Amino acid sequence: MQDRVNRQSVDLTAYPDLVVVILGLKVRTLRGLVSMLGIGRGLAQIQGAPPDGLLGHEQLLFGWNHLGMRQYWRDLDSLERFTRSEPHAAWWRDFLRDSGGAGFWHETYSARRGIEAVYVDMPSPVGLARFAPERRPVGPFLSARGRLRGGMEREVA
């Protein structure tokens, strides 16, 4: 007689503002390996001392040259506080000046606000970019908060 599978689910009612972020870094050139090592140091810091609001963090491997992460945040405000603080803010500014031979992307899924995504120096479409039309991240679409709900929400300073 065959055993039944162990099917489970979760109760998310305590997390009405849950935000899930999937991120990826894809090495495009040999120089991109340095970018990947920098991400590794940052991930070690996050795992050693999780920022306020980070509920869970998992590392993923999309391919031999494509690392990823999935993070669960209590709410968008917690995620934004982390991304605007050091060392993350400095890493992001530096990456936008010079991607160092790597491509970066993230997709944010918010229980209340919708879905948004951004892709920087990716050699080919991934995730939502495989089917959704491209839109430049300018004006209200410059920030994740602005891209959520199609930029309809008022920007918060």
Residues of the chain above pLDDT 90, percent: 65
3-state secondary structure of 94: helix
Cα 114 from chain centre: 14
pLDDT digit string (tens) for 41-78? 777 778 788 999 999 999 999 999 999 999 999 999 99
- All structural domains of the chain: 19-123+133-149 (3.30.70.100)
Name the pairing type of β-strands 66-73 and 19-27. Answer: antiparallel
Q: Which residue is listed with tokens 């994740």?
A: 144
Contact status, residue 83 vs residue 108, Cβ threshold 8 Å: no
Mean pLDDT by 10 residues, the chain (157 residues): 88 97 94 80 79 95 93 96 89 90 96 94 96 92 85 44
